[in-house]
Homo-oligomer: A and B are copies of this chain.
Amino acid sequence: MCRWLAYSGEPLKPSLVILDAQHSLVAQSLNSPLGAETVNGDGFGFGWYPKDAERSTAAIFHSTEPAWNDTNLRELTSSIESPLFFSHVRAAAEPPIQQSNCHPFRHENWLFMHNGAIIDFKKIKRELTLAVDPSLYPDILGTTDSEVLFHLALTLGMKDDPIAGLGAAITMVEKVGREAGIGFPMQGTVAMTDGATIWAVRYSSAGRSRSLFHSVDTATVREMYPDREQFRLFGDTAQLVVSEPLNDLPGLFREVPESTAVVLNHGAYEHRPFLDAG
């Protein structure tokens, strides 16, 4: 269910990774080798922080069309440059297919996206939604598990400590889910950003999570593939977190282990245990 990609670094034309790479996100929308579903055609989203922006909030483009033939997405992502962007293609568990169900979701300067599911969500949707802070409640516009998870994380401190806030939200999902008889309530990978740092998490209650990778540093990439022109378009601090590698070249992407959070910040990264690592 879904595939996503997050970039931070020198301002980059997003089409390079969303459209032009061998296994670009849009290529994955039509044929995802590692995804739980082959086709991710139930809408997409693109959220980007403008270059030189006075605004610190991200702009968002959501569409219910399949990404592979959307001409607006091609036009937009090849005419701007951005130092930090999220993009997501959706494979919906069920209708409705609507823009308010497209990722990334936004709150103030934050973006959030998710690949996976809260299992048997309908059973516990009401209880989880009630746990959202009443002041945030009217911001929930769609019907997805992911949007509720985001607002739970916001309620539980994500803006102060993203990993702790998401951890508390997932802990609540697991508690409420197990009380409702759901064996393994949480599945998936999550990306969060405040416009400067990216936090990405791979976690599932069953310990068998959706795939997640991040890129190695640009210097290493150039050393490994000195003749590849496209890699010269990436700056020294460029970093990608992706549901699956964007090409078949060995050595470019490193798998994120189970129950792990990755923190990406100005070209550096760090792995941290997430939830059950103690």
- Which residues of A are at the interface with B, using a C-beta cutoff of 8 A? 30-31, 38-39, 41-42, 48, 50, 53, 55, 59-66, 68-69, 71-72, 75-76, 78-80, 92, 94-100, 122, 125-126, 130, 134, 137-138, 141, 143
Residues of B within 8 A of A96 (CB): 71, 98-100, 141
Chain B: which residue is nearest A50 at the CB level?
B79
**Are B98 and A99 neighbours in the complex by a CB distance under 8 Å?**
yes
Q: Which of B75, B97, B138 makes the CB contact (< 8 A) with A65?
A: B97
Q: How far is the CB of A140 from chain B (nearest CB, A)?
A: 8
On whether the beta carbons of A60 and B39 are closer than 8 Å, the reply is no
Among residues of B, the one whose C-beta sits closest to the C-beta of A62 is B72
- B59 and A75 contact, CB distance less than 8 A: yes
Copy number in this complex?
4
Complex Cα gap A66–B90 (Å): 13
Q: A122-B138, A125-B138 are in contact. Are A97 and B79 (CB under 8 A)?
A: no
In the assembly, what is the distance between CA of A137 and CA of B143, in Å? 12
In the bound complex, CA of A25 to CA of B61 (Å): 20
Some 9 contacts from A to B, beta carbons below 8 A apart, are A50-B79, A59-B76, A61-B75, A65-B65, A69-B94, A71-B96, A98-B100, A122-B138, A130-B130
Min C-beta distance of A190 to chain B, whole Å = 23
**A78 neighbours in B (Cβ, 8 Å):** 55, 59
CB proximity of A23 to chain B, nearest CB, Å: 16
B residues in contact with A38, CB < 8 Å: 31, 38
